[in-house]
A and B are shown apart, each in its own frame.
Chain A
Amino acid sequence: AQTVTQSQPEMSVQEAETVTLSCTYDTSESDYYLFWYKQPPSRQMILVIRQEAYKQQNATENRFSVNFQKAAKSFSLKISDSQLGDAAMYFCAYREMYSGGGADGLTFGKGTHLIIQP
């Protein structure tokens, strides 16, 4: 079974600075997807960024970028120019690319609580 590990229960960063959230995963598959989701106090799950395992190029979405190291099974999220609105729980998630039923669920890590200090 796949597992996703987020070793940082909580991180704190000054506004406008850069922070990196760690995620490692374990899988025997070669093709899969990785995601970062943001969960603000409203508790809605918001997709931040995704990465296909077959792509060597790291995904980027504005101030959010990832460092995907396939051999090391590492998928960290970097947030540049941190803003107060970035304060939230961040969850790393994994999904297989192929499945018999066509609709596998996501496997989530336990999350990292990101605090932005003004």
Chain B
Amino acid sequence: EPEVTQTPSHQVTQMGQEVILRCVPISNHLYFYWYRQILGQKVEFLVSFYNNEISEKSEIFDDQFSVERPDGSNFTLKIRSTKLEDSAMYFCARTATEKGTEAFFGQGTRLTVV
């Protein structure tokens, strides 16, 4: 099964600016996830999204983060006011079914906050 596609592959933004990271899924995918990996560190779960609602979120996913899936197409992660420490790789992932176990990852978006 194909992984999801993420855009852009790399984004540079000024501190304090808003960024939107996009994930383009296959239409029958139900569960979506965002993960973050700060350079040299482990991958951390941010949020899961099912049936157009947040299913679970980690303590990292604070008020500056939001997710949505407008008109059932792209799945987006918005960071409202970026900080230097938001610089990281952001991965979108999906599982195909309710009982799906494997998470298949996109290629990631490298976010650099300057």
Residues of B within 8 A of A50 (CB): 101-102
The answer to whether the Cβ of A30 comes within 8 Å of any Cβ in the partner chain is: no
Among B35, B42, B55, the one with the most A-chain Cβ atoms within 10 Å of its Cβ is: B42
Q: Interface size for chain B: under 10, 10 to 19, 20 to 34, or 35 or more residues?
A: 20 to 34
Nearest A residue to B31 by beta-carbon distance?
A103
The answer to whether the Cβ of A81 comes within 8 Å of any Cβ in the partner chain is: no
| Bound Cα distance from A72 to B42, whole angstroms | 23
Interface contact B41-A103, CB-CB below 8 Å: no
Residues of B within 8 A of A43 (CB): 37, 89, 107-108, 110
Which residues of chain B in 32-67 are interfacial with respect to chain A, using CB atoms and an 8 Å cutoff?
33, 35, 37, 41-50, 55-56, 58
**Is chain B's interface secondary structure helix, strand, loop, or mixed overall?**
strand
Task: Report which of B33, B102, B104 forms a contact with A105, defined as CB distance below 8 A.
Answer: B33
17 cross-chain CB contacts under 8 A: A44-B106, A45-B43, A45-B93, A45-B108, A46-B105, A93-B43, A95-B101, A95-B103, A99-B56, A101-B56, A103-B31, A103-B48, A103-B55, A103-B95, A105-B45, A105-B46, A111-B42
Shortest beta-carbon contacts, A-B, top 9 = A105-B45, A101-B55, A45-B105, A103-B48, A103-B55, A108-B43, A110-B42, A103-B31, A44-B107
Residues in chain A within 8 A of chain B (CB atoms): 33, 35, 37, 42-47, 50, 52, 91, 93, 95, 99, 101-111
